[in-house]
Amino acid sequence: MSSAKLEHVIIVGGGLGGLATALSFHYLFPRHNLTAPRITIYEREPTESSRINEGYTMAIRGDRVGGAVQALKTINQDLYNDIRSMAAPEGDKNVAMQFSFGVNCDLNPALKLNTSAGEDSFRIARFKLRNRLVEELKHFDESKIKLEWDSHVIKADYNKEKNKVNVELKDGRTNECDLLIVADGAHSSVRRYMCSEEKLNFQKCISLSCVTTIDDGESLPSPIKTSPLVGITGKGIGIFMATIDEKSFFWGVIYPSNEERPPPYKGSVMTKDEQEEFVNEVLTRT
């Protein structure tokens, strides 16, 4: 498809993939003497801060397998530098592993997997990365990139006569585009509509995870000050811990199960009783 025909792109989903794709169009096309298309991003969440509870961290890898560092630098070096400055404390970049332990913070790693010193890999809180990409969109006029919050796309159909893709939103609005990019996550409404036979299947594995914020005067658990921690018990129970910033860290326990269960406290701040119940379950399972 030539750039002359690619006039309007609709991206469903304002997550990391959708935002990075929109920025790529407008940073990369001009470098190749191409006119970037007008882009509309539809995000079903109501506000840009509503996902702050998704506090997990993610690795931005610079190795050949990941390639995320190279991708960010290709989009825009200043953007990469900004994101790099938000990285979680990383220490020596080793990944510490401890086998067969109970959940406590006084762990001595039994094994360390060293990363290459030349790889510029780091961890960052997902919400920080997402919010920074949202800020980067504001450098462009809405006539170039428009991000619409509280806009849930539920249907998409190809109009062969017009060679356009028509989308319908939950509130009844419609729009059309030359290219549709669906990036609205595992529970995509568009995918359910277009590929109704495809289902997400329970894989007999459950993850219990949360973010802990430490009190003033306290410090992060020593094992994760310098590296993420991965633990495995003899019964196949896994644990992962990683810093988000100097005051908080993410941790989770993964265990096998034949039965599904709903999220106990999805995206909410736990009460004292809920915290105690959650920790007791984690301790029991590990």
Check whether residue 217 and residue 278 sit in a common domain.
yes
Check whether residue 169 and residue 215 sit in a common domain.
no
pLDDT of residue 104: 46
Check whether residue 169 and residue 218 sit in a common domain.
no
Residue 121 contacts residue 62 (beta carbons within 8 Å):
yes
Tens digits of residue pLDDT in 44-55: 988 765 444 555
Is residue 78, in this structure, part of any structural domain at all? no
Beta bridge partners of 38: 8
Q: Could you give the maximum distance between any two Cα atoms of the chain, in Å?
A: 66
Q: How far is the C-alpha of 255 from the C-alpha of 232, rounded, in Å?
A: 10
Last residue of a domain, one of 142, 165, 194: 194
Q: Give the strand pairing for 164-169 and 174-177.
A: antiparallel
Kindly report each contact of residues 258-263 with a partner whose C-beta sits within 8 Å and lies 24 or more positions away, as own/partner.
Answer: 258/204, 260/202, 260/206, 261/206
Instruction: Give the CATH number of the domain where residue 33 resides.
Output: 3.50.50.60
Give the DSSP letter string of 247-271. Answer: TEEEEEEEEE-SS----SSTTSPPP
Check whether residue 181 and residue 209 sit in a common domain.
no
Secondary structure percentages of the chain, helix, strand, coil, to 5 = 25, 30, 45
Check whether residue 209 and residue 277 sit in a common domain.
yes
pLDDT of residue 228: 79
Can you tell me whether residue 279 is helix, strand or coil?
Answer: helix
Q: The tokens 């953007």 sit on which residue? A: 79
What pTM value is reported for the model? 0.80
Q: How far is the C-alpha of 284 from the C-alpha of 162, rounded, in Å?
A: 60
Check whether residue 39 and residue 107 sit in a common domain.
no
Q: How far is the C-alpha of 209 from the C-alpha of 206, rounded, in Å?
A: 10
Helix (H) or strand (E) holding 170: none
Check whether residue 279 and residue 238 sit in a common domain.
yes
Check whether residue 173 and residue 135 sit in a common domain.
yes
The CA distances from residue 39 to 17, 70, 129, 167, 189, in Å, are 14, 24, 21, 14, 20
Is residue 74, in this structure, part of any structural domain at all? no
Last residue of a domain, one of 153, 176, 194: 194
Last residue of a domain, one of 179, 194, 209: 194
Can you tell me whether residue 121 is helix, strand or coil?
Answer: coil
| Domain tally, the chain | 2
pLDDT of residue 145: 98
pLDDT of residue 48: 61
Check whether residue 213 and residue 271 sit in a common domain.
yes
Tokens read off for 67: 């390639």
Is residue 89, in this structure, part of any structural domain at all? no
Check whether residue 133 and residue 51 sit in a common domain.
yes
Residue 208 contacts residue 282 (beta carbons within 8 Å):
yes
Is residue 86, in this structure, part of any structural domain at all? no
All residue ranges of the chain with pLDDT < 70 are 1-4, 48-55, 89-119, 265-268
Q: Which domain holds residue 208?
A: 95-117+201-285
